[in-house]
Amino acid sequence: MDEVAPPTPAVAAFMADLLEVWPERVSTRGIELPRSSPWKWPARTSASGPVWRCQAKHTRAATATYVVAAIAERHGLNWHDPQPRALQVGLRPVWKGREAPLFADVALPA
């Protein structure tokens, strides 16, 4: 079985912000996802080293993409949406200027 490396400090900070938006409860039964969560599995267990990978439910993918992009940008991280181009949400690349805020910026804690 492959060992999982702890997330890097930047990815850990990204995860902390992400879990503020969509909290996950840890109980004796494991990690419980609220119905409002866009993830198919717990986001908190999806980080290893410099990578965080999680699959969004199809019905929540557009919202999740905006939020993930905004949080990644805040932490100087690159992000990739592996959906087919026809399903991708059009966001400005992180390397372009901050002329206009991302849609999710208004929903995220500063």
Rounded Cα distance between 19 and 31, Å, is 12
Using alpha carbons, list the distances in angstroms from residue 81 to 1, 6, 28.
27, 23, 33
Q: Which residues contact 106 (CB under 8 A, 6 or more apart)?
A: none
| pLDDT tens digit sequence for 3-39 | 778 999 999 999 999 999 988 888 888 888 888 888 8
Which amino acid, residue 104?
A
Residues 67/107, Cβ–Cβ less than 8 Å: yes
| pLDDT tens digit sequence for 31-79 | 888 888 888 888 888 888 888 888 888 788 778 888 888 888 888 888 7
Structure tokens at 49: 């080293």
